[in-house]
Chains A and B, each alone.
Chain A
Amino acid sequence: MNLRPDPTFHASPRLAMEAPVENFGFTVMLSPDGSQPDGIAVVDLDPKSDKYGQIVHQVIVPNKGDEFHHFGWNACSSSLSPLSGHAFLERRYLIVPGIRSSRIYVIDVKEPLKAKIHKIIEPEEVFEKTGYSRPHTIHCGPEGIYVSTLGGGGPDGTDGPPGIFIMDCETFEIIGQYEMDRGEQDKHYDFWWNLPQDYMVSSEWGLPPQFEGGLVAEDLLSNKYGHKIHFWDLRARKNVQTIDLGENHQMALEIRPAHDPKKSYGFCGVVVDTTNLQGSIFTWWRDDDGKWQAKKTITIDPRPEKAENLPPLLQGFEAVPPLVTDIDLSLDDKYLYVACWGLGEMHQYDVSDPMNPVLAGKVEVGGIARGAAHPNGKPFVYGPQMVEVSRDGKRVYWTNSLYSTWDDQFYPDDEGGQMVMANNDENGFHLDKDFYIDFPKGYRSHQIRLEGGDCSTDSFCYPSA
Chain B
Amino acid sequence: MGFELTTMAALWGAVIASGIYHGLNPGMGWPLAVSAALMEQSPKAMPKALGMLALGHLVAMVGILLPFSLMLVLVTWEGEIRIGAGMLVIAMGLYLLINPRHPRSLARVHPAKLGLWSFLAAMAHGAGLMLVPIYLGICAIAADDTGHLAVQSLMGNSIVTAFIVALVHTIAMTLAGGLLALGIYHWLGLRFLSKTWFNLDTVWAVSLVLVGAFGIYSAMTPEMAVDVAAL
Contact = CB atoms under 8 A, between A and B. Distances in A.
Interface of A: 1-5, 9-12, 15, 80-88, 142-144, 170, 175, 195-198, 235-236, 261-262, 461-463, 465
Contact of A85 (B31, B38, B106, B194): B106
Given A80-B31, A82-B32, A196-B39, A4 B198 contact: yes
A2 B32 CA distance: 21
Of the candidates A3, A4, A85, A86, the one having the most CB atoms from chain B within 10 angstroms of its own CB is A85
B20 to A, nearest CB: 17
Contact of B199 (A1, A11, A143, A463): A1
A196 B35 contact: yes
Contacts of B108: 142-143, 235-236
14 contacts: A1-B199, A11-B191, A11-B193, A12-B190, A82-B26, A82-B121, A83-B107, A84-B102, A85-B27, A85-B107, A196-B35, A197-B111, A235-B107, A262-B39
Contacts of B102: 84-86
Contacts of A2: 199
A198 B39 CA distance: 13
Contacts of A88: 199, 201
B41 interface: yes
B44 interface: no
Nearest to A9: B194
Chain B residues touching A, majority SS: helix
Contacts of B111: 81, 83, 195-198, 235
B199 A81 contact: no
Interface string B92-125: 0000000011111011111110000100010000
Contacts of B28: 82
A462 B38 contact: yes
A81 B35 contact: yes
A143 B38 contact: no
Interface in B181-212: 190-191, 193-194, 197-199, 201
Contacts of A144: 104
A235 B31 contact: no
Contacts of A142: 107-108
Nearest to B53: A82
